[in-house]
Amino acid sequence: MFFNVKRSDPIRLHIRKGTVDDPYVDINEKLTVINNQIQLHEIPSEFERVIIDGYTEIMLDKYEETFHIEPNKFLVDYQTGMIKFNESEEKKDVTATYKGTGVIKYPASRIWVHSPNPWAVENLQELIDFIYKKEQELKDEVSNAIELIKNKTQEYMKFIQNKTQEFLTFLEDKKQEFIDFVQLKSDEFVAYVDKFIERAEEKIRDIDIHIDIARKQTEECKQATEESKKATEETLEAKQITEEATEKAIEATNKANEATRWSIEKTQESIEVTNKAIEETQLMKIDRFNTRLIWQEPVDVFASIDIVYPKPEMGWTTMTLDNGNIYRWDGFEWKYIGNMKGGIPLVNENSDGLMHKDDYIKLLGIEEGSQKNFIGEDAKNALPNYVHTKTIVFVIAAKKLKEGVQDVQIEFEEKGIIQSVSGICKTPGIEYTAIQLEKISDADMKAGHDNWVEVCETNKEVIFDYGEYKSTQASIVEREVNPLDSFRLNIKKLGGGIESITIKVRILV
């Protein structure tokens, strides 16, 4: 039977010779026992054996007598680097020390997938391609959904603005109507009270007249009984008129109280309208949050914004130094909102511009070739460290990512000291990524020697943790840089999903 095997997907053997020129490497790694076993990162040397702190290795022939591993013991498969433990050691952390002879890498196209399966694929590579295709389709759907949300958001904001303006117009009209109504009722109430007072004064005058008459009739009563009776009747009549006037005064007072209650009710209605207006004002303040500007440090060009600010917050604003354009993050993308340079004129002797006119006149008065404060090395030494710092930048595109030594090498022409090594990425991985910086002298490079030296401490290189856009700060052990030294990157561990890595090496010269 003939199998159509792709010869472009060979099994790769990265095996060291164990000689002086290609020796085995010392490896010390901390692993966790899962399913009663651990997997070493490299195949161990059977001659030097594997050493695990607190455990004793048992030989294969001893294991085959009982097929049982006792606690605190382990069995090593020196063909695959797999180490087995007793089930009591599950989830314990162990430290393995051994000589690494290299690794064997199997291509995904040679790893079969259980068949039949719901994806109709034969091997792991086809499954990966299938997942990638579905991921791209999902990204397209998400992009379309985001565009739809943006359009609907704009329509909603326009609708809110129109309704807000309509409400403000309605509120202003009702406010004026209420003021006119209150003024009218106030005028009517004042007129009513004035009329009531006038009538009360008339009744009081009438009462005074009747009192005078009663007094006169009382005096006449002494002279004649008949006249006294008549005067008494007139007094009783005056009393009745007084009572009627009093009842009318009480009635007028009740009407005044009723008008006062009506005024209180209208005042309460006015308070409710005012509170509603305050609520609308608070909503308008919330809307202003969506237009506020939170200034960040400027960047060199527009393409650098996503790299410098991978996780922006609503309102973050920055400027591109190459053209002065200003961009603001609206929650979905960086929106252009203006230009910093376009509105500022050039300076001249009569008016300020990009600098003060007095400073401009001073500059015009400096003669060409005037003596500076410092010259030569003195001037160089007088400057702060950041002026002496130069940066090597490695950029690895998404489709160029691979484990091992990268193709790009950069030569540094000056003598200096490495200050820091760090990195950023456009898309974080679903597991950690470790990158080592290596350097070689000009003499070794010209002689064809492969004497590359690791700049960072082992296991403390440039590390991108799961889901992180920025790496940890690498621990540097080889800081000195000589003229014409060359640098390269070696990806020790490539986490799945990470894309577009940029590594920066800052050197003080």
pLDDT in tens, 399-410: 678 899 998 999
Tokens at 142, concatenated = 């998400």
Q: State how beta strands 12-15 and 82-85 pair.
A: unpaired
Within the chain, how many helices (H) and strands (E) appear? 8, 22
What pLDDT, on a 0 to 100 scale, did the predictor assign at position 348? 66
Indicate the pLDDT class of residue 137, thresholds 50, 70 and 90.
Answer: confident
Is it the case that residue 335 has pLDDT exceeding 60? yes
Helix, strand, coil percentages for the chain (3-state, nearest 5) = 40, 25, 35
Q: Give the model confidence (pLDDT) of 216-225 as tens digits.
A: 776 776 786 6
**Crossing angle of helices 124-221/225-289, nearest 10°?**
170
- Would you say the pTM of this structure is higher than 0.85? no
Q: Bridge-partner residues for 74, per DSSP?
A: 57, 85
Length of the chain in terms of residues written: 509
Identify the burial level of 501 via C-beta atoms within 10 angstroms of its C-beta, where 0-12 means exposed, 13-18 middle and 19 or more buried: buried
Between 289 and 449, where is the model more confident?
449
Is it the case that residue 5 has pLDDT exceeding 50? no
| Distance from C-alpha of 474 to C-alpha of 82, rounded to nearest angstrom | 30
What pLDDT, on a 0 to 100 scale, did the predictor assign at position 293? 81
What pLDDT, on a 0 to 100 scale, did the predictor assign at position 402? 87
Tokens at 127, concatenated = 């499954």
Q: What is the mean pLDDT of residues 375-380?
A: 59
Tokens at 298, concatenated = 């400027």
Sheet with 325-329, side-by-side order of all strands: 294-295, 316-319, 325-329, 334-339
Q: What is the mean pLDDT of residues 425-438?
A: 92
Which residue type occupies 192?
Y
| Distance from C-alpha of 307 to C-alpha of 304, rounded to nearest angstrom | 5
What pLDDT, on a 0 to 100 scale, did the predictor assign at position 357? 72
Q: Give the model confidence (pLDDT) of 177-196 as tens digits.
A: 888 888 888 888 888 878 87
Tokens at 487, concatenated = 């640098």
Of 498, 426, 441, the closest CA to residue 466 belongs to 498
| Distance from C-alpha of 399 to C-alpha of 217, rounded to nearest angstrom | 127
User: Would you give the DSSP letter of residue 89?
Assistant: G
CA 116 to chain CA centroid, Å, is: 45
